[in-house]
Structure 1
């Protein structure tokens, strides 16, 4: 009778197990990745630009600074006295254009001219709460500008 010596695993068996573990790990890691990272990132950029305009209004004690959203809802511009002002942070101009496929959905209570300004105390003008949504057509990220305080949450 031939009895095979079973003291260990063959190299092909070890490689097969490593390959199976690698495939399962790749699937688990990729399923946990946020596919909406661009959407979330763009929402944070818009929030930071709104906070920047609020900061400028507070530090200069002026009501002349505003963000005007485009008619196509894919960009906005920093205005001072209704004229394009300095560059937005991390931008080469006073206008920021969203990444392709993303749009800004403005609330119904936004002024007709699609402009949000901040007064010298940091409150939005007109003084109301605004819920702004960034959308890719399927998913959305939303945030609010709170009346009276102007907090961008």
Structure 2
């Protein structure tokens, strides 16, 4: 039977130690080549999909928490951006490839995730996308 070895970066351990008791912590595992640290032997993860441009511009980073709250429906959601540009939604085991698919998983409706999800300061993903476009027009 093969042996499973998991090595955590010290920053991950520090994050886990500071997390509150009811916090959800998402951990992504990748296959290494065996015998050496996977971080030393694997290529860096490159974002792809709809969020890639925002990530490459530094407007969105892996680990960013996105939230929404629909007051009238008393419904909220939380998702975390992965290094490859997908969204891990609380309560769902599989990452979603787009903001709208992630929003649909929470709401049960087809919905524009770009205008629904927002970062901590309240800016929507659509707002970040418009910011990127305005920088590219300069």
> TM-score, normalising length from structure 1?
0.23
> TM-score, normalising length from structure 2?
0.24
Give 1 or 2: higher strand fraction: 1
Q: Which has the higher contact order (CA 8 A, sep 6+)?
A: 1
- Give the number of the structure whose alpha-carbon radius of gyration is greater: 1
